[in-house]
Amino acid sequence: MNPELNLFLASIEKRAFRMARLATRQDDDALELVQEAMLRLVQQYGGRHSDEWKPLFYRILENCLTDWHRQQQRQRRWMFWRQPLPTDPHQDEADGDMETDHDDGDDLFSRFRSPEQALARERQQHAVLALLEQLPLQQQQCFLLRCWEGLSVQETATALGISDGSVKTHLHRVRQKLERLCADHQYDQEAQHETG
């Protein structure tokens, strides 16, 4: 494999896993999807110019995720007695650890005025991640590609196979939900201050 391509894959593997993990909520499936996307990129588009790799890779990953979701829906339809998607074990661990374990939070505390603020910020971040996980697939991927990965509206639209207008609509809805969540957290925080 081209060393440049290897470097590219190394640079995006964790982000791709995070995206797939948010969409599937399962480590094994996320790993498998990332590997499949990487394999397809290497085999089919490895000879392309390096500028094209990122949008191509995310397009392949989106296709893999869409296929995975369709497959899950089919399985759920036929095996309706089975449980829905499992909850995120790492999320639960993180929520549990948040109260007691602050080993890696020293840096976080140093950036804020008080431990309360740092804790509030951390809680808010967990809530945001939980919200992103609950979003419909297309809204979620739209936000991740456009806002987190920094793809253009057009590249996002191409990766998701939708129009530019749909990308903007999805982004608007996600932003609304995020702002509502942040506002709720702010309100809770203020209420805690008043009672405290």
Partner 1 sequence: MKPVDPHPHEFEPASAEQLACEALDNSLDQIPDDISARLRQQRLQLQGLDTRPHHKPAAWWIPAGLVASVVMAAAIWLQPTADTTPAAVAVTQPSTSNRLMTGDYDLESSEWLELTQLSDQEWDMLQDLDFVLWLSELPDESLSPAPVADQAG
What's the closest the beta carbon of residue 157 comes to partner 1, in angstroms? 19
State the alpha helices, DSSP H only, in 2-88. 3-24, 27-45, 50-78
The binding track of 63-102 with respect to partner 1, each residue x by CB under 8 A or -, is ---------------------------x---x--------
- Give the CB-side neighbour count of residue 94, counting CA atoms within 13 A: 16
Q: Kindly tell me the burial class for residue 133, based on how many C-beta atoms sit within 10 Å of its own C-beta (0-12, 13-18, 19 or more).
A: middle
Residue 151, Ramachandran bin (φ over 0: left; ψ between -120 and 50: alpha; else beta): beta
What's the closest the beta carbon of residue 43 comes to partner 1, in angstroms? 6
Alpha-carbon span 178 to 65, nearest angstrom: 23
Query: Measured from the CB atom, is 39 or 85 closer to partner 1?
Result: 39
Residue 187 binds partner 1 (CB under 8 A)? no
Would you tell me which residues interact with partner 1 (CB under 8 A)? 1-2, 5-6, 9-10, 13-15, 17-18, 27, 31, 34-35, 38-39, 42-47, 90, 94, 104, 111-113, 117, 121, 124-126, 128-129, 132, 143-144, 147-148, 175, 178-179, 181-182
